Amino acid sequence: MLVFAYGSLMWNPAIHVAERRMARADGWHRSYCLSVKAGRGTPDNPGLMLGLRPGRDCVGAVLRVAEAHVEQELDLLWRREMVAEGYIPAWVPVFAPDGTRLGAAIAFTINPQGPSYCDPDEAEIVRRIATARGGMGSSAEYLFRTRDALRAMGIHDPFVERIGDLVSAKLDAAV
């Protein structure tokens, strides 16, 4: 079984991964469109996490779960990702950097009808990520760990880099 990772699953999969490699999901892109009032935010200052939205392409990681572990690992993954109606699991075709089709992978796409869906402008994204903190840490930590995981795989995502630069500048200005 393949899982497409584009955010925290890249740096904290919390499942047994038999193989990990760079992959592209055509027709989907990262977006800070999941509002979180717990974990990396609060009801008074919700944080933001990534969702996978239709349009463009997304380069991330494809994680292979060994067949012998699929049932157990899928249960863990579901309990982690499907807690607040924020995502819709979908099978998406994934491709290697050379264009070779790797197969279909489960991806946690944003649920635009869900209660946590949002579509903030860039200024609001930066404000929320720079200021929100919850029991699991800050939204900024989530952003920077995702950016670091992308960089470690040799992936340059202009959107994540731009938001990272803007959040860094806002945090530096606050000191």
Which residues are annotated as catalytic? 81
Query: For residues 103 and 96, what is the distance between their CA atoms, to the nearest angstrom?
Result: 10
Listed residue (170, 46, 173) closest to 116, CA to CA:
46
Dist CA 44 CA 48 (whole Å): 13
Give the side-chain half-sphere CA count within 13 A for 118. Answer: 17
Secondary structure of residue 138 in the 3-state scheme: strand
CA distance 13 to 61: 11
DSSP state of 19: E
Q: Which helix (H) or strand (E) holds 8?
A: helix 8-11
CA angle 67/51/88 to nearest 5° reads 55
> Where does 22-67 have alpha helices with state H?
none
